Structures are given as structure tokens and as C-alpha cells.
Structure 1
Amino acid sequence: MITAFILIIMKSGDENKVIEKLKTDPRVKEVYKVCGEYDVIVKIEVEGISGLNDFRDKVLRKIREAVMSETLIATSYGWER
């Protein structure tokens, strides 16, 4: 199982539309609107690199409102309250 965080920059004002699209996919575990360079951060859980590629190709790249994204793969468990 791979946990990844995807940081997305999108067209202005489209955050809610993108969040609604992302929420329909069961691999999406959390979605946040954020302040700063990125507009939305998404936490996903997928089965291996092939699952990450599948999410990128079938979900992320089909979101027209997304201008750019960066994917960060978690390499170890951190800390959770």
C-alpha cells in the first residue's frame, strides 16, 4: 500500500468543483483546501506504483480545472495524534 499526497494548483475559483470530483474516488482519503502556492492537498492510498499511475491517468489528468500537480509519496509513517 502506498500513501501519497497530491498538491494541486487549479484555475481560480474551481476548488469546490475539484473537491467534489475527487471525493467520489474511494482511493481518496482526505482533501483539504489550503493557502499558499497550492490550492488543494489530497491524501490517497493506492496499491503500489501501478495504482498510483492508474489514479494519475484515470482521475487526476481528467480534472480539467487542475493546472499543475505535485505528488509526494510517503516513505515511512510519521506521527498522528
Structure 2
Amino acid sequence: MITGYILIAVAPGMEDAVYAQLKKIPEIKQIKSVFGEYDIIATIDSKNIKELSKIIVKKIRPIEGVITTGTLISME
């Protein structure tokens, strides 16, 4: 099991809309708004890196307002 912390930069004014779309993704366990280089951090638990990558590429990045993502991975 791995945990991915997805750092999400959002277009100005789109924070609430992106947050609402992220809440619809069942694999996301936690969402936090933050200040700094990124605007939102989402936490995902997955079986492996391939599954995590698929969630990021197919479900998070296509959301309107998402500019870029960064990923931190914690392996247990």
C-alpha cells in the first residue's frame, strides 16, 4: 500500500470548483486547501504507483481549473 499526496495548483478563482470536483473522486481520502505554491493537497491510498498514476492522469488533471500537479509518495 502506498499513500500519494497530490499537490494541486489551481487557476485563480477556481479553487471552490476544483475542490468540489475532487470530492467526487472516491479514491481521494482527504482534501485540504493550502497556501503557497500549491492550492490544494489531496491524499490517495492505492495498491501501487501505476494505480496512483492512473487516478492522477485520468481523474485529477482533466478537472477544469487544475493547472499542474506534483506528487509525493509515502511507502509503508
Distance in 2 separating the partners of 1:17 and 1:23 = 10
Q: Counterpart in 1 of 2:19?
A: 19
Q: State the TM-score, normalized to the length of structure 2.
A: 0.89
- Provide runs of 4+ in structure 1 moved above 3 Å: none
Q: Which runs of 5+ in 1 are unaligned?
A: 77-81
Identity %: 37
Structure with max Cα Rg: 1
Distance in 2 separating the partners of 1:8 and 1:57 = 12
Q: What SS does structure 2 have at the residue aligned with 1:38? A: coil
Q: State the TM-score, normalized to the length of structure 1.
A: 0.84
Distance in 2 separating the partners of 1:29 and 1:40 = 13
1:6-39 superposed Cα distances (whole Å, 9 cap, x missing partner) = 1111100111111111111111011011111111
Equivalences, count: 76
What root-mean-square deviation, in Å, do the aligned CA atoms of Structure 1 and Structure 2 show?
A: 1.2
Contact 2:61-2:68 within 8 A present in 1 as well: no
1:13-72 superposed Cα distances (whole Å, 9 cap, x missing partner) = 111111111111111011011111111111111121121121022112211211111000
Q: Which runs of 5+ in 2 are unaligned?
A: none
Structure (1/2) with the larger strand percentage: 2
